[in-house]
Amino acid sequence: EDKVVQSPLSLVVHEGDTVTLNCSYEVTNFRSLLWYKQEKKAPTFLFMLTSSGIEKKSGRLSSILDKKELFSILNITATQTGDSAVYLCAVGPRNYGGSQGNLIFGKGTKLSVKP
Amino acid sequence: NAGVTQTPKFRILKIGQSMTLQCTQDMNHNYMYWYRQDPGMGLKLIYYSVGAGITDKGEVPNGYNVSRSTTEDFPLRLELAAPSQTSVYFCASSLTSGEQYFGPGTRLTVT
């Protein structure tokens, strides 16, 4: 069965700390892994990874994929209170009737950054 | 360009009532999706559509129905609301596979 497992489920850090969030997956026909940030409302897109070993970076956030070991990490350096959110990992595609657009989501990691 | 819009933002239903959650996107995306998100859980796919006139079941379709008469609209229908349908519902769209754009969500309570 296709699945995505994120760890830890929750994390509390102080401003300035560096955090690493983990995502492991088992998907029959892997195409891409995506990271989303969810604050109070809808998930917003962070990164999409398709190739092993190539780091994607956006400001203090970075992510890398290991297709051999079937996992990805999301790093946040110099954390700020505004980084507090649930971080979702999603892998696609999951085949429902052959559609190539579906994603399977992990349960998320809830990050709380204290001042 | 509004992206993905959903109405209503909040709704309280009594058991057995029916309602339709509306979803519209203005990005000309072929793919549209309905997810539900329960506390502490990830997003579970209810139904999806790969284009106008084409819909299919996702992981948790029971108790729901959809239609896709236009590219822009993808309404989700609850026929006989049950407490187990209390959740936050997100609509999303994508051009092809990969990045999905999410609407703001509808918080539904069934009592």
Residue range B29-68, pLDDT digits in tens: 989 999 999 987 889 989 999 889 999 888 899 999 999 9
The torsion of the CA quartet B105, B96, A103, B89, rounded to 10 degrees, works out to 10
Residue B61 C-alpha, separation from nearest chain A C-alpha, in angstroms: 12
Q: Does A115 touch chain B (CB under 8 A)?
A: no
Confidence (pLDDT) at A101: 56
CA distance linking residue B39 with residue B45, whole number of Å: 15
Between B2 and B54, the higher pLDDT residue = B54
The answer to whether A73 and A62 have CB atoms below 8 angstroms apart is: no
Between B85 and A96, the higher pLDDT residue = B85
- Residue A98: which pLDDT band, with cuts at 50, 70 and 90? very low
CA geometry: angle B54, B60, B65, nearest 5 deg: 45
Do the Cβ atoms of A41 and B105 come within 8 Å? yes
Judged by CB atoms closer than 8 Å, whether chains meet at B45 and A96 is answered as yes
Candidates A102, A107, A110, partner chain B, best to mutate (most B CBs within 10 A):
A102
- A19: number of Cβ within 10 Å: 18
A88 contact residues in B (CB cutoff 8 A): 42-43
Contacts of B46 in chain A (CB under 8 A): none
The residue count for chain A = 115
- In angstroms, the CA B49 to CA B32 distance is 5
**What is the tens place of the pLDDT at every residue in A34-56?**
999 999 888 999 988 988 888 99
Provide the residue type at A71 as one letter.
Answer: F
